[in-house]
């Protein structure tokens, strides 16, 4: 049983949930600022469930539609579907069940989230098809991941969201988009030769590794500026700006590692550095919200 569970968690890359989940939790905390960042156990559990369902659906769909390319790529040939360790039928079932579960969970959150849940499913799954017709596939992945903080914010506030909150949520979502563009370009370096031969789109194929890395660096600079704007809009204080400094250091280190262009260094830059970025962000954001002496004075 443990082996089977481990197999399924590996299939949907459950460990990569650490990228999107912290941003969703940070958005949840800011949206619930009036109650010190805590929306209650019920809503917290529903937000977690929605996140897991959405990501499971998206990753299962990605593995299903890319299975033929994965079989041809030496780096991905050992994945579950091309290797035959999981059946296509079971993968389709996981994808369908997780999509239906997301809709069901959204129903218990609020009417707005329920109405938008089919749109969310389309967006998170559509990314997997984009490499077939555009080199800007990284942008679509960024939009898909940016739904996490927006969805968490809407889960807490629903239709009661104010224009100021809308601006805050939009700024955070844009920051996530540019963050994803940057580190997905770095991740795509691994498949540069294969993608070029298979005529699959990415900015690495379009511009070459050197120029694509420059674009990734620029995307992360924009992300830093957007996170700074988010801090200003939320009137955050010292902990947040200390966190911003640490995030900036992590992103610079990521690019230093990525420029080595060796597989092991790319994996470190992709997973460890970006996991650290998301964890730092959620910690300092929740600290700002939870502890009163860091909160802005009224008036």
* Distance from C-alpha of 288 to C-alpha of 114, rounded to nearest angstrom: 30
Nearest to 165 by CA among 27, 39, 44: 27
pLDDT above 90 (res 65)? yes
What is the pLDDT confidence band of residue 299, given thresholds at 50, 70 and 90?
Answer: very low
Give all strands (DSSP E) within the chain, no chain letters: none
Residue 84's pLDDT is 86
> 62 to each of 18, 222, 263, how far by Cα in Å?
18, 28, 22
Q: pLDDT tens, 185-212?
A: 998 988 999 999 999 999 999 999 999 9
- In terms of pTM, does the model score above 0.85? yes
Residue 131's pLDDT is 95
The CA-based dihedral angle spanning residues 110, 112, 118, 120, taken in that order and rounded to the nearest 10 degrees: -100
Q: How many CB atoms lie within 10 A of CB 16?
A: 15
Q: pLDDT tens, 250-265?
A: 999 889 888 876 666 6
Question: Token pair 């959405």 is at which residue?
Answer: 54
Q: Which CATH number fits domain 16-164+173-294: 3.40.50.1370, 3.90.1150.10, 1.10.357.140, 2.40.110.10?
A: 1.10.357.140
């Amino acid at each position: 049983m443990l082996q089977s569970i481990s197999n399924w968690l590996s299939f949907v890359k459950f460990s990569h949930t650490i990228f999107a989940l912290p941003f969703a939790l940070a958005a949840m905390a800011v949206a619930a600022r009036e109650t010190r960042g805590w929306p209650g156990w019920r809503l917290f559990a529903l937000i977690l469930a929605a996140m897991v369902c959405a990501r499971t659906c998206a990753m299962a769909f990605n593995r299903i539609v890319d299975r033929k390319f994965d079989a041809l790529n030496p780096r991905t040939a050992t994945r579950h579907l091309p290797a035959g360790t999981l059946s296509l039928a079971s993968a389709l079932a996981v994808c369908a069940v997780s999509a239906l579960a997301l809709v069901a969970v959204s129903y218990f959150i609020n009417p707005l989230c329920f109405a938008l849940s089919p749109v969310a499913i389309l967006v998170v799954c559509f990314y997997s098809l984009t490499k077939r017709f555009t080199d800007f596939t990284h942008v679509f992945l960024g939009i898909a991941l940016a739904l996490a903080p927006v969805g968490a914010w809407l889960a807490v506030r629903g239709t009661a969201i104010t224009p100021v909150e809308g601006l805050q949520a939009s700024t955070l979502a844009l920051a996530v988009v540019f963050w994803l563009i940057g580190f997905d370009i770095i991740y795509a370096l691994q498949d540069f030769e294969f993608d070029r031969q298979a005529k699959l789109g990415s900015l690495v194929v379009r511009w070459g590794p050197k120029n694509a890395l420059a674009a990734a660096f620029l995307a992360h600079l924009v992300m830093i500026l957007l996170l700074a704007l988010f801090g200003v809009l939320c009137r955050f204080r010292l902990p947040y700006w200390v966190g911003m400094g640490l995030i900036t250091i992590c992103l610079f280190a990521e690019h230093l590692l990525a420029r080595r262009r060796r597989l092991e260094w790319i994996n470190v830059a992709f997973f460890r550095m970006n996991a650290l970025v998301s964890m730092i962000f959620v910690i300092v954001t929740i600290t700002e919200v939870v502890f009163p002496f860091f909160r802005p004075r009224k008036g």
